[in-house]
Homo-oligomer: A and B are copies of this chain.
Amino acid sequence: MLKEFQEAIEKEINSLTFQKPGELYEPILYIMQLGGKRLRPLLCLLSYNLFAQEWKKILKPALALEIFHNFTLMHDDIMDNAPIRRGKQTIHKKWNSNVGILSGDVMLVKAYEHFTTVEGKYLLSVLNSFNKCATRVCEGQQMDMNFETQPAVSEKNYLSMIEKKTAALLGFSMELGGILGGQNSEVTEKLYNYGRNLGLAFQLKDDLLDVFGDEQFGKQSGGDIISNKKTFLLIKVLQKASGTDRKTLLYWLDQKEFDSEEKVKEVKAIYTRLKIREEAESRINGYFDLATENLRYFKANKNAWELLFSFTGNLKSREK
């Protein structure tokens, strides 16, 4: 079933076509075809599947989630001046920033176009939730950028940032499946909370894999350490480190020019010594538990529930 969902999503992506001008539309096809887990449309289908069978009817709004997500990646990459995305050149590197800005803009419109295909009785509710979600995603990106120039970021603010930037869209992806499955707000709230907690777990796991993952799925290995990115790990280690560890850490944070490999090795050693990895893992497991807690409510539909439950398990144990 999961495979069927995945194939249908890819087929839907491959059927996207646009007219001229090419400078506007080619980057959309390019970024959409870079691959990825297609997590958001998948969650939407898995969620809908708890309540109804005709998931083929909701492929367009499910795809809207993926289009919106890729719109945020396109603009974020410009803002972060990131050269590489999924092992390939980012849009603004392959073309230029202006192309990235404008193609992104039209992607957001295309996302709305796809949402607009939902059954009329759900349209307002879908749009209201999506508008709220999209606003939160932008707010999260702004917070993330603000963090770069702030001397210190609290754990609370970091979690609030990833809640907006990442978790809100996973929450809405689940919620959308529920709305389109005809569920009331009591139910869709549980679905949202599943997705939200999954999103928090997912982002913290990303932070962890950036440092401790074997493969770095196209990203620079240890890139967060190299760039002093204020991730959960760095915030935690700054809470805990004292004495020599703290000195070493601050030394590396302060260096403008350094050997990247050496910096990663040294900072990673401190993470290991202070059990930051374990701390992160325990937090990640906590969010996964909170997520699945919200799933219990849907156990009645055994097959669909099991599918979602095992999917969650796969995300929990992913190593890249």
A-side interface residues toward B, CB under 8 Å?
20-21, 23-24, 75, 78-79, 97-98, 101-102, 104-106, 108-110, 112-113, 116, 120, 123-124, 127-128, 131, 134-135, 138-139, 141-143, 145-146
Contacts and interface: CB of A to CB of B under 8 A. Distances in A.
Main secondary structure on A side of the interface with B: helix
Which one of A97, A105, A108, A123 has the greatest number of beta carbons of chain B within 10 Å?
A: A105
Given A21-B143, A110-B135, 17 more contacts: A21-B142, A23-B145, A23-B146, A78-B98, A98-B145, A101-B101, A102-B138, A102-B141, A104-B105, A106-B138, A109-B135, A112-B112, A120-B124, A123-B123, A123-B124, A123-B127, A127-B127
Contacts of A124: 116, 120, 123
B128 A101 contact: no
Given A116-B124, A131-B116, A139 B75 contact: no
A128 B120 CA distance: 12
B108 A79 contact: no
A142 B102 contact: yes
Contact of A131 (B102, B112, B123): B112
A31 B138 CA distance: 18
Nearest to A128: B116
A24 B139 contact: yes
A101 B79 contact: yes
Contacts of A24: 138-139, 142
Contacts of A109: 108, 131, 134-135, 138
A314 to B, nearest CB: 32
24 contacts: A20-B139, A21-B139, A21-B143, A21-B146, A23-B145, A24-B138, A24-B142, A75-B102, A78-B101, A79-B98, A79-B101, A79-B102, A98-B145, A102-B141, A102-B145, A104-B105, A106-B139, A108-B108, A109-B138, A112-B131, A113-B131, A116-B127, A116-B128, A127-B127
A309 to B, nearest CB: 33
A70 to B, nearest CB: 13
Contact of A75 (B101, B112, B141, B143): B101
A23 B131 contact: no
Contacts of A134: 106, 109
A120 to B, nearest CB: 6
A124 B146 CA distance: 37
B75 A105 contact: yes
Which one of A97, A106, A109, A127 has the greatest number of beta carbons of chain B within 10 Å?
A: A109
